[in-house]
Structure 1
Amino acid sequence: MCAAVAAGRAGTADREQLLAALSALRLLREEIATWEPALVTAARAAGVSWSALAPALGVASRQAAERRYLRLQPSGTGETTGEGRVQAERDRRAGDRAVAAWARRNSAALRGLAGQVSGLDGLDPVAQETADQIGAALGDDDVTTLLPRLAAARLHLADEHPRLAGQVEALTEQADRLRRDAADRRGRG
């Protein structure tokens, strides 16, 4: 490849060599592009802060480092642009914060519902496992850990315990509404 570049400077490279070199460069660039998000993910998992990553990524701030990372990440939710992925991730976080604040304000009701579900008898083995997970999560300081477990239990409750299933469904709808509202507020802001 370097010979093709040198030859190109000298004016003796043929078109095929230049096209081959450009194709090889594109493939190399695509390969390297997959390394950066994987390395950043590993660094974050190892406890490296966005502020510490910024200079290594050649950007000036922790926000710019995170934005670069999000732009390079493949989309898990269908966004086709890097900015779309940044927006989707920030919307998701805003929604999570809104749901967490609501859950903390309503922790007594959430824990009461979780206690009812975890105390049910005569469940099939899969439903019992879900109820046991809810019971274990009741001891967690963070009430938000109950939300996904309660949502998972809803299907197991529908036939035998429709009242509880309805309460869990209302809770799930409330969380979804809060997430949408938070994303809408971000979009207007």
Structure 2
Amino acid sequence: MSGAELLDALVLLHRAQAELAGLEPVLIAAARAAGVSWQALAPALGVASRQAAERRYLRSASAQTDHPGATRDDRVQAERDRRAAHRAVAQWANDNTADLRRLAGQIAALTDLDEAATSDLAQLHQALGDADATALPALLAAAHQHLPDHPDLAAQIDTVTSRTDQIRRQSPRRGGET
């Protein structure tokens, strides 16, 4: 092969590598959405642990984030912080299940809401039958917009939303935990 042909081959190789590298986070995200665990992904990615698999995914994801200047490690930590906040809110919701279900039940029982509320109320009603209460705060927040004629219920939702927002802000950084 000539020097020019070798250079052309290297250019093609570089393009192919870039294209394949762009596919990896898409495939990992699809696998995670399909229920594949980080532990199961680790050997497929050629890494030794679930933490390394998650780190590789977060680092290979596009640098286009809400914080364009963020480093890869910043994105990894931000994802861990987001998950820690989610866990903290989930724990709070499960600790306050009775109050959340009472409020959700009162809203789901309303008969004077407009048709635009149908979908949100159906989701709220379905969540009442779920053993896990973690979905209730978000579903209550979604129902809030349909309650202009029920200021007392809307105020209770505001209290729930304020509390979950506070928990998210106060959630400790959990370095090293995934």
TM over 0.5: yes
Give the counterpart letter for 1:37 in structure 2.
P
Q: CA RMSD in A?
A: 2.5
TM-score norm. by structure 2 comes to 0.84
Structure 1 SS opposite 2:102: helix
Provide the residue aligned with 1:186 in structure 2: 173
The 5 Å alignment of 1:94-173 reads 94-157=84-147, 159-173=148-162
CA pair 76-163 structure 1, distance change in 2 beyond 3 A: farther
Unaligned runs of 5+ residues in structure 2 are none
TM-score norm. by structure 1 comes to 0.80
Query: Which segment drifts farther, 78-87 or 137-146?
Result: 78-87
For residues 132 and 85 of structure 2, what CA distance do their matches in structure 1 show?
Answer: 17
Q: What percent identity do the matched residue pairs reach? A: 55
Provide the residue aligned with 1:176 in structure 2: 165
1:5-61 per-position Cα deviation (integer Å, ceiling 9, x unaligned) = xx33xxxx49xx84x555544432221112212222333344433223223222221
For residues 99 and 140 of structure 1, what CA distance do their matches in structure 2 show?
Answer: 17
Provide the residue aligned with 1:44 in structure 2: 32
CA pair 142-50 structure 1, distance change in 2 beyond 3 A: same
Count of equivalent residues:
174
For residues 79 and 168 of structure 2, what CA distance do their matches in structure 1 show?
Answer: 12
Larger Rg: 1
Structure with more contact order per residue of length (Cα contacts < 8 Å, sep ≥ 6): 2
Provide the residue aligned with 1:67 in structure 2: 55
CA apart distance, 1:131: 2.1
Unaligned runs of 5+ residues in structure 1 are none
Comparing both structures, which one devotes a greater share of its residues to helix? 1
Provide the residue aligned with 1:88 in structure 2: 78
CA pair 133-52 structure 1, distance change in 2 beyond 3 A: closer
For residues 64 and 13 of structure 2, what CA distance do their matches in structure 1 show?
Answer: 28
For residues 41 and 59 of structure 2, what CA distance do their matches in structure 1 show?
Answer: 15
For residues 76 and 162 of structure 1, what CA distance do their matches in structure 2 show?
Answer: 40
- 2:43 matched to 1:33? no
